Structures are given as structure tokens and as C-alpha cells.
């Protein structure tokens, strides 16, 4: 199961996972366009047909729990998150709701349904965070660590990505645009 499956990082995770020929790949995303795009790529370009696209927000706790109950995923790759620092700075409660509370619920559902491995896609901004987005991801990591210390069958791990070139959050297109307009180039 991949959350944020249609995003730039989630979609790449899907591309990598299909190489291992999983029995089923569950794609969760809140963006209809992004979910459709990765569905079509899996189907028509990668010839992988064992997928189930589910258009939902992870805040829909009862539906997410039903998905786990019905499909019993063994691996969760949790890439869904708000990642744009300036937007999160002006909408901090959304970072808490989406990045922290939703991830906490997903972790608890994964434990309840005996998911073997849970991988949290985090950010380099979670290291000594200086902004709301980094703090929200660090808090999510700490919640995951707290759950992982209980004796259970689910293994938890996190991976921190920096500015992923070509991702929807990449700063490179902004820099190119600023340079094309003659500057200045803004660095936060």
C-alpha cells in the first residue's frame, strides 16, 4: 500500500515496487488527476495490472481502516504529506492535521492489522526543524518511534529525503523561472 501514490515520490515508489511483482499494489491518493496518472502508467507503460486505485483522503479514518481490513497489506509506504514549506508556514494547522494526526492514525491502523513493515517518507527538514513543515514531520517520526518501541509484529522505519529534483516540491523550477526573469533568485 502506497499513500500519496500519485505524487512525485509516491509514484516513483510505485514504479520501484512493481519490479518486485507484488500480488497487489494499493494506491491511495487524494488527487484524482495524480491517481489516474499513476494508474495509467502502471497499466499501459509498465504492464502491471494488479493494482487497486483508491481515491480518498487519509483523514477518512473509517475508509482507511476498511481498506486494511479487507486487503491486509503487508507493507505500507507512507509518502502522503504536505511538503511545501511556505504554504505550511501560512497554514500550520493543516500540517498538524495532515502530517501528524493522519500519520498517527495510519500507524495505529497498521499495527492493528499486523502490517509487516511501515516506511515513513520524511524530510531532511525534520533534523533540528526550523519551520512548521519540518517540525510536523519530526513529530511524526517521534510518534512512529514511540509506537515502534512496543513489542509488536510491525517494523517501522523512516527515510528522509531532501530537495528531490523533479519532484513537485523541487525548488529548481522556481530558480529557473527567477533566473529567466532576470532575478533575483530567492533562497529561504
The torsion angle over the Cα atoms of residues 44, 45, 47 and 50, rounded to 10 degrees, is -70
CA-based R_g, the chain, Å: 17
In the sheet that holds 155-161, the strands lie side by side as 51-55, 25-29, 2-3, 75-78, 117-123, 155-161
125 included as an active-site residue: yes
SS3 of 81-94: the string is: CCCCHHHHHHCHHH
Beta strands in 124-169 (DSSP E): 155-161
Of 21, 83, 104, 125, catalytic: 125
- Cα–Cα distances (Å) from 115 to 72, 122, 185, in that order, read 7, 19, 45
Angle at 136 (CA atoms; ends 134, 141), nearest 5 degrees: 95
- The catalytic residues are 125
Amino acid at each position: 500500500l502506497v499513500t500519496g501514490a500519485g505524487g512525485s515520490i509516491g509514484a516513483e515508489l510505485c514504479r520501484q515496487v512493481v519490479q518486485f511483482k507484488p500480488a497487489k499494489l494499493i494506491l491511495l491518493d487524494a488527487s484524482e488527476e495524480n491517481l489516474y496518472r499513476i494508474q495509467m502508467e502502471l497499466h499501459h507503460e509498465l504492464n502491471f495490472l494488479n493494482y487497486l486505485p483508491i481515491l480518498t483522503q487519509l483523514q477518512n479514518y473509517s475508509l482507511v481502516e476498511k481498506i486494511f481490513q479487507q486487503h491486509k497489506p503487508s507493507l505500507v509506504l507512507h509518502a502522503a504529506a504536505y511538503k511545501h514549506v511556505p504554504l505550511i508556514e501560512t497554514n500550520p494547522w493543516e500540517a498538524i492535521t495532515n502530517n501528524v494526526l493522519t500519520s498517527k492514525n495510519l500507524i495505529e491502523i497498521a499495527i492493528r492489522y499486523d502490517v509487516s513493515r511501515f516506511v515513513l517518507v520524511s524530510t531532511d527538514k525534520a533534523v533540528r526543524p526550523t519551520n512548521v513543515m519540518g517540525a510536523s514531520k519530526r513529530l511524526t517520526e517521534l510518534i512512529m518511534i514511540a509506537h515502534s518501541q512496543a513489542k509488536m509484529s510491525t517494523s517501522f522505519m523512516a527515510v528522509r529525503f531532501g530537495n528531490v529534483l523533479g519532484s513537485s516540491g523541487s525548488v529548481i523550477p522556481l530558480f529557473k523561472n527567477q533566473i529567466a526573469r532576470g532575478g533575483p533568485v530567492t533562497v529561504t
